[in-house]
């Protein structure tokens, strides 16, 4: 199974990627929207090749675009991934606005993710 890890911070992104690779998953990584526009291909109506290749997406709900209040916010990416039929493991805080999506293919984990919880969530997506 191919898993895409989207997190603006390289340390947790690489840590999670390592856990997933050790568990036998193929892993792609992405920092999410970056300067200067903070807009992703998926946010512009295009097709993201990383998202298309993945079966599951691990998405940090606080990306640079959310911090800068510009471009493609994490919630829009969540909708984009769901629209592609991907399972999503969303990393956030209690009260983050993914509750309407929980009946779909979304699992909300706390940030930073714990290894066992992340692997279990990805396996169920």
d(Cα 25, Cα 122) in Å, to the nearest integer? 10
The reported pLDDT for the residue numbered 31 is 94
Task: State the average pLDDT for the chain.
Answer: 88
User: Can you tell me the mean pLDDT for 26-50?
Assistant: 88
The reported pLDDT for the residue numbered 91 is 92
Per-domain residue ranges for the chain? 1-34+70-94+110-125
pLDDT, one tens digit per residue, over 37-47 is 898 887 777 78
Nearest to 9 by CA among 79, 66, 50: 66
pTM above 0.95, yes or no: no
Over its C-alpha atoms, the chain yields an Rg (Å, rounded) of 13
**Residue 98: how many CA atoms within 13 Å on its side-chain side?**
28
**Residue 51: how many CA atoms within 13 Å on its side-chain side?**
23
């Amino acid at each position: 199974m191919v898993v895409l890890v989207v997190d603006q911070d390289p340390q947790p992104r690489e840590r999670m990627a390592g856990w997933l690779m050790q568990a036998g998953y193929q892993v792609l990584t992405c920092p999410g929207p970056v300067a200067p526009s903070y807009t992703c291909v998926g946010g512009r109506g295009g097709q993201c090749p990383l998202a298309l290749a993945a079966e599951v997406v691990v998405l940090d709900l606080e990306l640079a675009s959310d911090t800068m209040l510009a471009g493609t916010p994490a919630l829009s990416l969540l909708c984009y991934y769901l629209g592609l039929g991907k399972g999503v493991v969303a990393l956030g805080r209690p009260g983050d606005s993914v509750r309407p999506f929980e009946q779909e293919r979304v699992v909300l984990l706390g940030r930073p993710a714990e290894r066992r919880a992340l692997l279990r969530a990805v396996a169920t997506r």
